Amino acid sequence: MSSTQLLVGFHAVTARLRHGPETIREVYVDATRRDRRMTSLVEQLQAAGRRVHPVAVERLDGMAKGGRHQGVLATAEAVALAHDLDEVLDELDGTPAFLLILDGVTDPHNLGACLRTADGAGAHAVAAPRDRAAGLNATVQRVACGAADTVPYITVTNLARTLRSLKERDVWVVGTDDQAIDTLYDVDATRPIAWVLGAEGEGMRRLTRETCDQLVRIPMQGAVESLNVSVASAVCLYETVRQRTSRR
């Protein structure tokens, strides 16, 4: 029997409607909201044969359990994505690996933004240590704007061991460190690569840092010393996109 997940907000429901409408089971909308955005979504859902239930906003509040539902949420079958990094790598069929590793990112807003960026950049997966990571809750799914359904988010028991396993499979592991000599522009991102970013403030843990093949920094030209982890992820991931696109 497949598990059920809750999709909260317009972005999460719209993304599932676009990528897997058959997995949507029931949709609940604010019965008092009749603006163009809601009307359009309801029409699309009904055209896809999905059942839409107008309900009181209080019921939505209770179902969302504190999440910002924007007047719409849905129950749906959980989408089956890769369960581990070996599975991800095995399915690449010659394409250079492109991974994002997050060490200690526990804020769901940051994780959601990182997943959204990973999807946009075409990363194959996002991974994090199980004991130092945010889960895929409703906040993450809302901020990710559907990327939680398209990018595998894999939690691992031992991050350093996972990084060593990636290196054994010829994936170049690059960690970001404000004190590094090299910059991200010194990285050959056309090769199989895993970008490793730590939580804002703390950065990567010592063992994570020591396991990386290369440490780089993002050049900062102003008074601010560092970027938010989701912004730093975007800078690194899109440097990979730039390099791989320019060499085609």
Residue 237 is assigned to a ligand binding site: no
What the block records as the tokens of 42 is 């309801």
Band (212; pLDDT cuts 50, 70, 90): very high
Distance CA 104, CA 180 (A): 19
81: exposed, middle or buried (Cβ count in 10 Å: 0-12, 13-18, 19+): middle
What are phi and psi for residue 180, nearest 5 degrees? -65, 150
Cβ atoms 144, 115 nearer than 8 A = yes
Distance CA 180, CA 219 (A): 10
pLDDT digits (tens, 9 = 90+) for 160-195: 999 999 999 999 999 999 899 999 999 999 999 999
> What are the structural domain ranges in the chain?
4-77, 85-246
What the block records as the tokens of 233 is 């992820």
Distance CA 176, CA 117 (A): 17
Residue 227 is assigned to a ligand binding site: yes
The third-level CATH classification (topology) of the domain covering 4-77 is 60s Ribosomal Protein L30; Chain: A; (3.30.1330)
Query: What proportion of the chain, given as a percentage, has pLDDT over 90?
Result: 64
Residue 198 is assigned to a ligand binding site: yes
Q: Domain 85-246 is classified in which CATH homologous superfamily?
A: SPOUT methyltransferase, trefoil knot domain (3.40.1280.10)
The confidence score (pLDDT) of residue 10 equals: 87
The confidence score (pLDDT) of residue 223 equals: 75
